[in-house]
Amino acid sequence: MSNDISLSKAPAAAAAGEPAGETLLQVSGLTKHFPVMGGFPFKRQVGTVQAVDGIDLTVRAAESFGLVGESGCGKSTTGRLITRLLEPTAGTVSYRGQDISHATRKELAPVRSEIQMIFQDPYSSLNPRQTVGTIIGGPMEINGINPPGGREKRVRELLETVGLNPEHFNRFPHEFSGGQRQRIGVARALALEPRLIVADEPVSALDVSIQAQVVNLLQQVQREMGIAFLFIAHDLAIVRHFSQRVAVMYLGKIVEVGDRDSIYQRPRHPYTHALLSAVPEVELEGEERERERIRLAGDVPSPINPPSGCRFRTRCWKAADKCAVEEPPLIRLAGAEEGHLTACHFPEEPTIAARDEDIVMDPALAALEDVSDRPQ
């Protein structure tokens, strides 16, 4: 069944005359600031949450682009700006050459069907009072699309594509498990034959064994239908598994972007090193390779009034005076592969192998490890 759909989709892409690899989405200088209200005696704006602060990225047709970072880094906000659930404060989002950053509802309508979103929480993102058929068929009805054979037939096809029983189109969301609901979310996103899907933490609410089912489904959809993905997640291993190119975000900025292997094997930004080193990894037989150990101190700072210059400097072991005054540009460093950009004044060596000495910034860890090392 999924083959049928990929067949019907392929000529459409060809007709548009768009070879794979061409830029589908171009984001430049994208910024979103949320006002913080407070003050006395009347509330007024006293600050801004710099959720996203001037990011550039491109997503090519049929590619999967991963966006990874910790809480407060602005990755979800970026997803919502691109789908225009939010309006940017500054910068542009252009989809196939058309600037949609401030487009009206009417102007957005044709684009909306081509850019779809999959949300994190499969429990709250589906209307509990609608049947699965209505949920999946709704977007077609709103956009006045009448597929051959009727909408119901199409809904059944979609249910089968995402691995659900087509006979269940009259059931309600609560009759499905978490993983199945996420499949419904995928089917809804596919209903309008989108060319770009923004998936915001699509598997993080699911059990481990179910996560893999949904990741595989998304991968199948991406490959067979040639849909481009903006894959947003905090789990570095899943992002690596799913995305050809990856951007690492920290406090509203992209600190490093590049091809998958480049980022995961030869990272240059200290934050990317710290992130990769922090992932608790299962090491199988024959994989006993020494990874570097970096332990930062404290949590990610608040995106309200973030640090000046380089935003990572407050937790960075290499920070110098320059980092506080001058914001490092996102550029290709000497020796880096094409497309691998890093925003750092003092980049690290392009390896993730163990260092001579671990980097332990955390005072408690440092103190405890000093004591425990002494008797040896």
Partner 1 sequence: MTTMTKPGEFAEDAAPAASDAFLSVRDLYVRFSTEDGIVKAVDGLSFDLERGRTLGIVGESGSGKSVTNLTVLGLHNPATTEVAGEILLDGQELTGASNRTLEKLRGDKVAMIFQDSLTALSPYYTVGRQIAEPYVKHRGVSKREGRERAIEMLEKVGIPQPRMRVDDYPHQFSGGMRQRAMIAMALVCNPDLLIADEPTTALDVTVQAQILDLLKDLQQEFGSAIILITHDLGVVSNVADDLLVMYAGRAVERGSVRELIREPQHPYTWGLLGSMPRLMSDVTEPLTPIPGAPPSLLSPPPGCAFHPRCGFTDLVGGGRCATERPELPDGRGSACHLTGEQKRSVFIETIQPRLG
Choose, by CB under 8 A, the member of 40, 43, 148, 283 that binds partner 1.
283
Distance CA 341, CA 332 (A): 4
DSSP run (H or E) holding 115: strand 115-118
Nearer to partner 1, 134 or 220 (CB): 220
Task: Please report, as residue ranges, which positions from 329 to 368 form the binding site for partner 1 (by CB under 8 A).
Answer: 362-365, 367-368
Nearer to partner 1, 111 or 233 (CB): 233
Q: Is 209 in the site for partner 1 (CB under 8 A)?
A: yes
DSSP run (H or E) holding 47: strand 44-60
Backbone angles phi, psi at 66, to 5 degrees: -100, 140
Task: Please report, as residue ranges, which positions from 18 to 77 form the binding site for partner 1 (by CB under 8 A).
Answer: 70-71
Q: Is 179 in the site for partner 1 (CB under 8 A)?
A: yes
Task: Please report, as residue ranges, which positions from 95 to 154 form the binding site for partner 1 (by CB under 8 A).
Answer: none
Question: Of 13-21, 90-98, 117-125, 210-218, which part binds partner 1 (CB under 8 A)?
Answer: 210-218
Length of the chain: 376
Buried b / exposed e over 321-354, threshold 16 CB at 10 Å, is eebeeebbebeebeebeeebbbbbbbbbebebee
- As a three-state string, the secondary structure of 288-341 is CCCECCEECCCCCCCCECCCCCCCCHHHCCCCCHHHHHCCCCCECCCCCCCCCE
Query: What is the number of H-type helices and E-type strands within the chain?
Result: 12, 13
Choose, by CB under 8 A, the member of 186, 230, 238, 319 that binds partner 1.
238
Task: Please report, as residue ranges, which positions from 158 to 177 form the binding site for partner 1 (by CB under 8 A).
Answer: 177
Nearer to partner 1, 171 or 260 (CB): 260
Choose, by CB under 8 A, the member of 124, 216, 308, 351 that binds partner 1.
216
Q: Which residue ranges make up the site for partner 1 (CB under 8 A)?
A: 70-71, 177, 179-180, 207-213, 215-216, 219, 234, 236-238, 240-241, 260, 264, 274-285, 287, 293, 295-300, 362-365, 367-369, 371-373, 376
